[in-house]
Amino acid sequence: MSDTNTRLSVGYYVAEAAIWLLSAILLLCRFIGLAPGQALPVLNVTLEHAQHFPKVVAVLLFAAVVYAFVEWKQSSRNARSSGWAMARAIAAVFSASVSLWVSWSLVVQNTSYAGVSPGWYLGFLAIGCLLGTFVSVLAFSTLMIRDPQESVKLGFPRIPVATYAQYVAWFPLVLLLMAGYYILLHFSPAVLHSVAGLLVGIPFVAVLLQGVASLCLACDENRDRIPYRKRIAQLKEIHDAHDYHYLLNALGKEAAQRLDIPVDGSPQAIQQAMQERYSAASSEAESSEAGPLLHRAVEAGLEVQVEEFLKQDLDVNECNGSP
């Protein structure tokens, strides 16, 4: 969909209306109830087994939320960036969550899960979402590791700085989430033990699939699909530029320390101080360490356009105008 479109897709508005309608029906069943033989409000349908009605509505409500999410992603960036659009989307999801939470006792009535708080389900689903997010980030960072030939050609270590930072930050959290799953499983009702893995696995796989789609289904500015290998190469160029900038900063700080220039000031102040300390002769000698690095970087073709990078989006919905 074109980025100039300021309205969400028609399908989203249909899904949003369904969410509000189904949420209201669930709340009506929870606080008012249906007499035997009474027709359903709005739909004007009479069910033979009215006790199954909340279950059917809950399934339809969940499907409407998923469909609304898909249509939201298909809408243009301009439409989704609107404050009003974001507010109404949040309100719709909140209404669905509240109605399901309040009416949960009706949904699981006459089942083995009756009496189980919906908080247990929410806990397992949250672990699955977070675990999928962190594993997806670690997997993406792993793809950025350079092969030996690339490492020698560029003069950089095989593991980019950003990848190393992701490992340090997120790997411990993955271990904590896995431990949290077993702790939650231990204290949860026994009836949930058979479905706990499913509650964690569904959001986990969904997040991973979204990450795979962002690499395999990405689009360029002309809405043409970018091949997977080309997409990885583009992202590796960004990591190469980051490492290049990181090493140059480290080299600059070392040079400043050798000249007894404080490195805790602003970059402009450090640069000014170094300019004042360097003479024409000494600058050539002191910068000799940076020469090979600069030469290797130029030979490797590390020309990254910042403006183009800002337009890159790791989400598959670049082609749909995703931010």
Domains of the chain by residue range:
1-113, 116-216, 228-314
Read off the pTM.
Answer: 0.66
Query: What are 44's two structure tokens?
Result: 């004007």
pLDDT of residue 132: 93
CB 125 within 8 A of CB 100: no
What whole-number distance in Å separates Cα of residue 54 and Cα of residue 161? 52
225 pairs with which residues across the strands? 219
What whole-number distance in Å separates Cα of residue 30 and Cα of residue 102? 8
Which residue has tokens 């360490």? 289
Average pLDDT over residues 242-266: 67
pLDDT, tens digit, 9 for 90 and up, residues 192-232: 999 999 999 999 998 898 888 778 876 666 667 778 788 88
pLDDT, tens digit, 9 for 90 and up, residues 117-148: 889 999 999 999 999 999 999 998 888 888 88
pLDDT of residue 222: 67
310 alpha carbon, distance to own chain's centre? 17
- With a pLDDT cut of 90, the percent of the chain lying above it is 27
User: Dihedral sign, CA of 191, 194, 199, 200?
Assistant: positive
More confident residue, 174 or 298: 174
pLDDT of residue 300: 45
Q: What are phi and psi of 225, to 5 degrees?
A: -65, 135
219 pairs with which residues across the strands? 225
Query: What are 287's two structure tokens?
Result: 């910068």
Q: What are phi and psi of 219, to 5 degrees?
A: -125, 155
Query: What are 79's two structure tokens?
Result: 């439409």
Average pLDDT over residues 171-182: 95
pLDDT of residue 199: 93
CA distances to 109, 143, 146, 151 from 158, rounded to whole Å, are 57, 11, 5, 5
What whole-number distance in Å separates Cα of residue 67 and Cα of residue 108? 23
> How sure is the predictor about 74, in pLDDT bands with cuts at 50, 70 and 90?
confident
Classify 224 in phi/psi space as left (phi over 0), alpha (psi -120 to 50) or beta.
Answer: beta
